[in-house]
Chain A
Amino acid sequence: MNVSFLLFKITLLAYFGSTIFYMIDILARKEKAGRVARWVLLGAFLAHSASLVARYVEAGYTPVTNLHESLSFFAWTLVGIYLLFDLKYRTTILGAFLTPLALALMIFSTATRTDIQPANPMLDSWWFPVHVALAFAGNAIFTIAFVAAIMYLLQERMLKSKKFSTLYFRLPSLNTLDSINYKCLTFGFPLLTMGIISGAVWANAAWGGYWRWDPKETWALITWFLYAALLHGRLTVGWRGRRAAIFAIIGFLCLLFTFLGVNLLLSGEHSFSALTS
């Protein structure tokens, strides 16, 4: 077993621990557990960072070339961005929703081929890390928007139906959830845009053409249009609340398909098999 994989295992365990503490906080209503969960999550993030660095050293390329690495990298950006977010907003409840998601990504990641494979020479470019960093940061921010949207719908349902569960007391106000949705959109959308542009520039450098209608590109574009529509709706028509939340959820599902579905179900330049075969 190599160092990166050992660190990976530690990370997985720490995410698991953090999830447990968050659940204790939310379900058994012990707020101290939430504070522990945050520290455990920070520790997990550091271990995860170390694991990625180790993998980079061992493999010699940015470790986002196959499904195992991508899922792990996605979980890492998600947790990193959440921790930044948490610095400012202190939203334990959001962590309680996101940490299990990161854990699920990591578990999924272990279920795939974890060995280091010889890299495609095309990946030996500076555009590669730039492209994936932008794309993944955008993905992570939209994931937070997605989680906030689910929380919004839950809270809205309770306020409309006047039936309150324990969660009502822990969830933030509708206004807060809606503004998280909006903030994520204003950060996520430029990142997604730049992710697509950097990909196009890289494609031009590697293959001599900006756009080839590869399925991943097509789906990224569909996702981009969805988020553009949401941003436009928010800014001009006054979309907000439930509608914006539903849109953020659809946008995320589309994003998820772009990220995973395309790679697993369709073939093209982005599919992992194409990259590693």
Chain B
Amino acid sequence: MNIVVVGLSHKSAPVEIRERVAFAPTAMEKPLHQVAALPEITESVIVSTCNRVEIYATGREADVTIARLKRFLASYHDLPFEGLEEHLYDFQGEDAIKHLYRVASSLDSMVIGEPQILGQIKTAYGYATEFKTTGIILNRLLHKAFSVAKRVRTETNIAGSAVSVPFAAVELSRKIFETLEDKTVMLIGAGEMCELAARHFVSTGVREVLVTNRTHERAVKLAEEFEGQPVTFENFPHHLHRVDIVLTSTGASDFILEKKKVAEVIRQRKNKPMFLIDIAVPRDIDPRVNTIDNVYLYDVDDLQGVVQANLKERKKEAKKAETIVGQEVGQFHQWLSNLEIVPTIVSLRQSLEDVRQQEVDKSLARLNHLGEKDKKAIEALTRSIVNKILHNPTAVLKQSQGDAAGDTYVDAIRTLFDLPHPSSEKD
């Protein structure tokens, strides 16, 4: 039995294609049942997100199954097969297992380490179990994928550092202050990014939020939203000494915070550090402020730089994750090949036993003159011939559990002895 995957993602197809191949999350029953009805396909799961559409399935012949799934994707969405095919990728066997593990661990995501994809795969699996299109192999594979993703998350730092500007600001403040619980944030002006950052700070649990704006009503409104205090724009410099984190984003054409003022505030604060985040363009805070001891000034470009550095960091962590995925793929593949070896041995024995029984019955029916004792001797003789013949193949099969030869032997024996495929029968 082979595991295959056919699909497309942000890496292989532009959004115009992806949106046409996507399956509506509310209507998964129809495509799942259609895939399940395809000949040769025994189990299936359809994953559909805005960045990827993938069908995981099991089938007897990997190449045939892949071709069928590709045709299905084109015909289901009424797309010309030739146009779609160039965007599709496919994997089989160990590569398919590895692909699922990498996707679930967010190693194949647009933003490496983003956590949503795991939830999306869980949802997709939920539909597949609801409409009963999975069986023993995909059930185990998907559960394993979830636990691999969890292992990657706990054993590597893949999701450890912020990859958006507001999160990067919160993280930097942690590297300065350690804890934000007793810190005060001041929000000067209003801008989308600035408010978003403020929201992140609030949800992290700062002690107090001060809001100021040239239009005081706006400050009052925002303050209400953050359960903070509005401060009039003329007055905000007088509150700075009790503020640890400043977020500014005004439309001012000149600096609203000069170096002299900040130096004075720091003295007033007895050198307690300050983190100034200037999201405005043109900038609100004189860049020379950064030269003052215990003051850390970041503008938009600096924060973008941090985000880039964090992305690089995630890529490094991803290498560790790849090692984990590699180990786990090997384990699953071993389980999968063992899954076939034991039934193969059983059905090989059964098949030879059937032949023996038939032939013995036929012969004994013609040999009426033999006594009970002779009949028993013939039974024993034939049985021991079968056992002798089977001895070596059985031993070799058992030994090949877990190595690459296992699959080849199973296929060879099933073909040579014309054995039925137990797990390919649909239920």
Contact = CB atoms under 8 A, between A and B. Distances in A.
Interface of A: 29, 155, 159-160, 162, 164, 166, 168-169, 172-176, 237-243
B271 A175 contact: no
B293 A243 contact: yes
Contact of B270 (A159, A238, A242): A238
Nearest to B320: A29
Contact of B294 (A172, A173, A242): A242
Interface stretch (B81-89, B305-313, B337-345, B402-410): B305-313
B302 interface: yes
A182 B226 CA distance: 35
A29 B316 contact: yes
B309 A240 contact: no
Contacts of A242: 293-294
Interface string B275-299: 0000000000000001001101010
A162 B177 contact: no
Interface residues of B, number: 28
Interface stretch (B143-151, B168-176, B391-399): B168-176
B427 interface: no
Interface of B: 157, 160-161, 172, 174-179, 269-273, 290, 293-294, 296, 298, 302, 305-306, 309, 313, 316-317, 320
A164 B306 contact: yes
17 contacts: A155-B175, A159-B296, A162-B298, A162-B302, A164-B309, A172-B178, A173-B174, A173-B175, A173-B176, A173-B178, A174-B177, A174-B178, A175-B176, A237-B270, A240-B271, A240-B294, A243-B293
A162 B306 contact: yes
Given A174-B273, A241-B273, A243-B293, 12 more contacts: A155-B175, A159-B172, A159-B175, A160-B296, A162-B298, A162-B302, A162-B306, A169-B161, A169-B313, A173-B174, A238-B269, A240-B272
A196 B44 CA distance: 78
B177 A173 contact: yes
B176 A174 contact: yes
Contacts of B161: 169
Given A238-B270, A241-B273, A168 B175 contact: yes
Contacts of A169: 157, 160-161, 313
B202 to A, nearest CB: 20
B294 A241 contact: yes
A237 B273 CA distance: 15
B48 to A, nearest CB: 35
A110 B335 CA distance: 55
Nearest to A179: B178
Contact of B293 (A162, A176, A241): A241
Given A160-B290, A168-B175, A238 B271 contact: yes
Contacts of B290: 160
B271 A239 contact: yes
| Pairs A-B, 5 closest by C-beta atoms | A238-B270, A173-B178, A175-B178, A238-B271, A162-B302
A245 to B, nearest CB: 11
A176 B176 contact: no
Contacts of B160: 169
Nearest to A241: B294
The listed residue with most B CB atoms (<10 A of its CB), out of A162, A164, A174, A243, is A162
Contacts of B296: 159-160
B309 A175 contact: no
B205 to A, nearest CB: 16
A20 B175 CA distance: 27
A59 to B, nearest CB: 46
A75 to B, nearest CB: 30
